Amino acid sequence: MTNPVVVLVGPPGSGKSTVGRMLAERLGVGFRDTDADVEATAGKPIPEIFIDEGEPHFRALEAAAVRAAAEGHDGVLALGGGAVMAEATRALLHELPVVFLEVPLADAVKRVGLDAPRPLLAVNPRARWRELMDARRPLYLEVATAVVDTAGRTPEQVADAVLEAL
Ligand code: S3P
């Protein structure tokens, strides 16, 4: 069994994938992203999984993807923003170095919507983002071994801060 060198958690727009890829390159290790793993398993993009099978099915695939990566990946791992809602996932994360990428709404808004569409932010994205963050912030803090503030920072600066926090 191998474990990730670091797991990145945080809301959509916190830069988990961008920073994660950068960190993996700097550390000379692989990068995995549970969103990509779920899409590979399902054979379709996340919005289609939500439409065709519903969010509970997506969450089940996500929890399985986290477990597989937490126990079988020795690089950097980025989790989908809602993965921490699963109690079993939080239990797994308690054993690992986990960095919570904290981000204010204004910064997240600049980033979300620019890449993959997110079903949970399809309508009223700012209000929904706030709701999700209010509900999940305690869960990110529960699993985090370190918190990195990404406000106004470039991905390079965030990656530096994550490396310092490890
Ligand atoms: C979700 C965030 C997305 C993706 C899915 C659900 C969420 O990942 O897993 O659309 O519940 O916040 P990112 O955090 O990488 O955008």
What confidence category does residue 100 fall into, taking pLDDT thresholds of 50, 70 and 90? very high
Protein residue whose Cα sits closest to atom 15 of ligand 1 = 80
C-alpha 148/C-alpha 163 separation (Å) is: 10
- In the chain, the number of structural domains is 1
Within-domain flag for 71: yes
42 CA distance to ligand 1 centroid (A)? 15
The verdict on the CB of residue 80 being under 6 Å from ligand 1 is yes
How does residue 120 score in pLDDT terms, banded at 50, 70 and 90? confident
Burial of 51: CB neighbours in 10 Å, binned 0-12, 13-18, 19+: exposed
Confidence of residue 40 (pLDDT cuts 50, 70, 90): very high
CA of 81 to the centre of ligand 1 (A): 4
Residue minimizing CA distance to atom 16 of ligand 1: 12
ipTM over the 0.95 cut-off = yes
Query: CA 74, CA 4: separation in Å to the nearest integer?
Result: 4
- Name which residue leads in pLDDT, 156 or 1: 156
Ligand 1: which residue has its CA nearest to atom 2?
Answer: 81
Q: Which CATH number characterizes residue 148's domain? A: 3.40.50.300
Q: Is residue 1 one of the residues assigned to a domain?
A: no
DSSP E strand boundaries for the chain: 6-9, 31-33, 76-78, 98-102, 146-149
Pair 149, 156: CB distance under 8 Å? no
> Which amino acid, 18?
T
* Residue 20 counted as domain residue: yes
**Which of 11-15, 76-80, 85-89, 122-126 is predicted with the least confidence, judged by mean pLDDT?**
122-126
> Is the Cβ atom of 45 under 6 angstroms away from ligand 1?
no
For residue 14, tell me if it sits in a domain: yes
Domain that includes residue 105, residue range: 6-165
Probe target for ligand 1 pocket from 34, 35, 55, 133, with the most ligand atoms within 8 Å of CB = 35
Rg (Cα) of the chain, in Å, rounded? 15
Out of 37, 115, 118, 132, mutate this one to test ligand 1's pocket (max ligand atoms within 8 Å of CB): namely 118
Residue whose pair of structure tokens reads 């990195």 in the numeric block? 148
pLDDT for residue 28: 97
Domain presence at residue 19: yes
Q: Could you tell me if residue 96 is inside a domain?
A: yes
pLDDT digits (tens, 9 = 90+) for 41-76: 999 999 999 999 999 999 999 999 999 999 999 999
- Looking at the domain assignment, is residue 44 inside a domain? yes
